[in-house]
A and B are shown apart, each in its own frame.
Chain A
């Protein structure tokens, strides 16, 4: 009784817990914002008084003046600093994108191998994980660059594989397609193929729902797209011509050259991250209860079917969140490229541009903002995927 009575009498506001709670939270916000403003204004005053400079991004429009070894877009020394920044960003994006795909594939294979009942297979997988998870990435990258790719023969004595593919310590030169005039039309045909494929898979799904027997929708989708693409390829006058690499002067010319630094960075990142992904995959698979496997076996599914249809879909729910972290790590770790000479975002912007312009605050704001955006974008995509595969309760 007494308690009810006490709560009915409102205490004065300075002793009211609710008021005090709101008040203290407000105070914390004011302090955080105030401190931020204080540091910012301190920086601005310091810069103005000490060096007589103000924060400005106008230097981005000036000519960069330096060359970059590899670029996905057209770039030369007359282009602006902003263009150089974008070149670095695309190089980072390229290595992160390919790294994520290959690291996932390798990681899943190793993770499944780790759980194999075959002694040799599971030993190999666990040795792989134990070695590469426990070597610092920087060490691994420098080892990969200096002890593996730099030890390939010089370009004049390059190993020539059929294709032709040139393997040398300058990198790997491979044949590459060059789009011709009809390339645009071919892309349109391919687009039509995808639309057709979507229609086909929709019809198959409807039919599956009616008959109760689901056909292999993905396979039919791919087959449709490939068929349409093939027709387009034959009908159109050569949408792509093959450009083969050849040796001339100091370097190989033609085709596409995957430079030694790029290969070293990519393989280092893949091998390192795959070890972590393997453990994530193993944990995910082991999280699926034993009963599921036993039930699948008793229904007559073979081990491969059990893994693909029963275990993996359930394991994915556990795998995706930590896998996202690994993707973010891989993207951020790619900034170690600076150690082996690959012109990624950090090497171009945080080193060369910074050296030349002396704009530390502007450059680092841009670099940090870019990595943050890349990471948030990756998280967003993974979260969308995670939501899709979440257990749907009916």
Chain B
């Protein structure tokens, strides 16, 4: 009896085992097939349906953004997404729907943002994203106009009197690891022939605490982040960001390769905010320009030529909606990063070309 029961048990185990083997043998065959059919379907759908029509059908724009960078993309005290980058998401929504709030911000980490865009889970990335060649080509992105010219900078103590890289001979530098931060630092210091000690942290807080305590003579990351972090040091006034840029970091919106109409919409919404500043049009005075005789202004405001139709938008005042709801570039900048904010970030390169910066929008005509 006993051995019979044992045999039954063995039989049961055996049948389970065989079932598992069959399942295991089947799944490798099934796995890749499913993946292939998915991949085949995605590009086909994109060809059929433009991003614009997907967005219009959905009734809102899905913008891939940041939730952790004060000034650019973060959750404000009321739990809403706010910041410079988020305002550009809102501007695109305003141009398409006439409503800046027809928007869903999809927060993403630096690593996952491109995958989310490629998979069609979002429509545009506006998340302090640096325009680089490999991202443009390998990752299949198209980068719109740069909305913020950033660069990796160095913050030092005022009392050290450091003004150039050469002054940092033999110094310790605190670094936050990033995709290229350590590389830029090593390259620039080697080019300048300066020996230094790199103290590498994985985390912003650790790195800036170590700098604040005097562990390092300098700390390096993107200048915009240095500015926002300077306000958190014990005595912010004791520190200065030196006039050295270790790298170029042009930040702007990115869209998928292959949908030119959508790319045009993103481009011209950004340009419209710059053109509005150039012509002195703000959210406050835009109504006063409606009887302007200047053909450049009339075209921007949709009073002459149907330029919104050229990018596929039926609303002829698409740029007026952007200016009314978000304002021009200067207003967006000042609201998020300007003198009235904790950052008080000088415009610098991010001024219009007429003011000594490099913002230069092509004309609407």
Contact = CB atoms under 8 A, between A and B. Distances in A.
Nearest to B180: A356
Nearest to A155: B214
26 contacts: A24-B13, A24-B14, A31-B20, A34-B21, A38-B27, A46-B35, A49-B39, A65-B187, A66-B183, A66-B185, A67-B198, A150-B210, A150-B213, A249-B169, A249-B171, A250-B169, A259-B199, A339-B203, A340-B206, A341-B201, A341-B206, A347-B200, A351-B177, A352-B177, A355-B177, A356-B180
Contact of B6 (A17, A45, A66, A77): A17
B190 A77 contact: yes
A329 interface: no
Contacts of B197: 69-70, 251
A84 to B, nearest CB: 11
Contacts of A98: none
Contacts of A200: none
B158 interface: no
B213 A20 contact: no
A24 to B, nearest CB: 6
A50 B36 CA distance: 10
A248 B35 CA distance: 61
The 3 closest A-B pairs by CB, nearest first: A154-B214, A250-B171, A66-B182
Interface string B4-43: 0011001001100110110011011001100110010000
A373 interface: no
B209 A150 contact: yes
A15 interface: yes
A114 B200 CA distance: 40
B172 A77 contact: no
Contacts of A170: 172, 215
Interface in A240-262: 248-251, 253, 259-261
B151 to A, nearest CB: 19
Contacts of A250: 160, 168-172, 217
B17 A28 contact: yes
Contacts of A351: 177, 200, 202
A30 B24 CA distance: 11
Nearest to A27: B17
B28 A41 contact: yes
Given A27-B21, A251-B171, A261 B209 contact: no
A352 to B, nearest CB: 6
A65 B214 contact: no
**Which label, helix, strand, loop or mixed, suits the secondary structure of the A interface?**
helix
Contacts of A69: 197-200
Nearest to B36: A49
A151 B209 CA distance: 11
A35 interface: yes
B217 to A, nearest CB: 5
A24 B17 contact: yes
Interface of A: 15, 17, 20, 23-24, 27-28, 30-31, 34-35, 38, 41-42, 45-46, 49-50, 65-70, 77, 142, 146, 150-151, 154-155, 169-170, 248-251, 253, 259-261, 338-341, 343, 347, 351-352, 355-356
Q: Is the interface on chain B under 10, 10 to 19, 20 to 34, or 35 or more residues? A: 35 or more
Interface string B178-202: 1110110111011000001111111
Given A27-B21, A38-B28, A249-B170, A343 B200 contact: yes
Contact of A68 (B10, B31, B174, B198): B198
Contact of B202 (A68, A253, A339): A339
A255 to B, nearest CB: 15
B214 A169 contact: yes
A46 B27 CA distance: 14
Contacts of B10: 17, 20, 24
Contacts of A68: 198, 200
Nearest to B11: A20
- Residue of A17, A65, A253 with most chain B CB atoms under a 10 A cut-off: A65
A253 B197 CA distance: 12
A31 B24 CA distance: 8
Given A17-B3, A17-B6, A46-B35, A67 B196 contact: yes
A158 to B, nearest CB: 11
Contact of B213 (A65, A169, A259): A169
A339 B17 contact: no
A49 B35 contact: yes
A70 B199 CA distance: 9
A150 B210 CA distance: 7
A50 B114 CA distance: 13
